[in-house]
Amino acid sequence: MSGPLASLKVLDFSTLLPGPFATLMLADMGAEVLRVESPTRPDMVRLLPPSEDGVSAVHGYINRSKRSIAVDLKKPEGKEIIRRLVAEYDIIVEQFRPGVMDRLGVGYEDLKAINPGLIYCSITGYGQDGPYRDRAGHDLNYLSIAGMTAYNGRKASGPAPMAFQVADIAGGSCHAVMGVLAAVIHRQSTGEGQHVDISMTDAAFSLHGLAAPPALVGGQDPDLETTQLNGGGFYDCYRTRDGRFMSVAGLEPQFFTQFCQAIGKPELTSKGMTLDPTVVAEVKAEIAEVIGGQDYDHWCRVFADLDCCVEPVLSFSEATEHPQLKARDMVVEVPRHDGGKQRQVASPFKFSATPVGYRFSGARLGQHSDEVLADHGFSDEDIQAFKDSGAVG
């Protein structure tokens, strides 16, 4: 593999979305990622439809380029395998509740004793301490606790779930990758590893980039449809006559002026920056009336050559065919294990010297158990003994 992270070796104990999406990014950038999976409790992502080659398409994407070894961590032999691997795979990503890995005998302190340079990243809903450390949760819960859900939605209907997993991915996955890479840089200069504690709630809370300062300094709590970016201004989506939508986002005066001229409403130009609810309602009603008076294709033609931050709202399938995303090669074909190929979303990272790469789609459970164990010095007899004991699947 090429990629800027080709020197890194990662043991991935995570399931579902946050951890696997983090290690997907690492693998795309060249890291060697080995998934350590339970032989008796498969990752639920493996069961999500649809499937190709008997493998879930979601699993095939989120776990591409990662080998899989099936190890029962409750077996003494399973623990011994991990202790052997951690001497070489010196980055760990895990997503269990706090204390689970410790009880299994493969927590940070246990493995740090074997490899002091170990970087051990734990992704949890609420973090390794605090009164909620052992509490169950999902993306919507973390965003709600973090104060984000409160101003996402409409006044008429109330708070609404986000369309994608903000806490899981922007919070857990992306912050895990940043934390791991920061720890790698620290280790390069000191030789010292460390435990990286990623709370998806903390990470979501940190994403209040524009809303936090007014709230913390001025006591201005953001609410539904009260900011320029959540429907409190003209920045919004407007329905066309045929039921499609256009996104209007030209916040800067030069963009809004051009937009108003394009829709034949230059008189709205002076009202674009106000947050006065009465004026905002009037402006949005006029924009909605004009946009609703013509079909989607008409507005696509009108704004195609105008640089005023107006774009059509595309479905995912339409987005894959957009000329910009096609020019950026954002859909790729990744080899499947049956010799075919699966269409997947590409990595967004573009490196001039160390391009990203895609080895294969997500592996079957334990597909690489034998070769990984053999690579690390276990004999054929050892491997068979592990299988007979149930430690390896």
Catalytic residue among 110, 138, 295, 298: 138
Residue 360 CB contacts under 8 Å (≥ 6 apart), including other chains: 64, 65, 334, 335, 336, 337
Q: Which of these is catalytic: 12, 90, 168, 202? A: 168
Distance of CA 271 to the CA centre of its chain: 37
Torsion of CA 242, 283, 248, 156, to 10 degrees: -70
Q: Are 254 and 242 in contact (CB under 8 A)?
A: no
C-alpha to C-alpha distances, 309 to 250, 256, 266, 328, nearest whole angstrom: 5, 8, 17, 20
Spacing of C-alpha 40 from chain mean position: 27
How far apart (Å, rounded) are the C-alpha atoms in residues 93 and 177?
A: 10
- Cα(209)–Cα(371) distance, integer angstroms: 46
> Six-digit token pair at 333?
């074909």
Task: Specify the residue for token string 């201004």.
Answer: 233
Token pair belonging to 83:
């202790």
CA dihedral angle for residue 322, residue 326, residue 330, residue 332, rounded to 10 degrees? 120
195: three-class secondary structure by DSSP: strand
Is 168 catalytic? The answer is yes
Q: Which residues are catalytic?
A: 138, 168
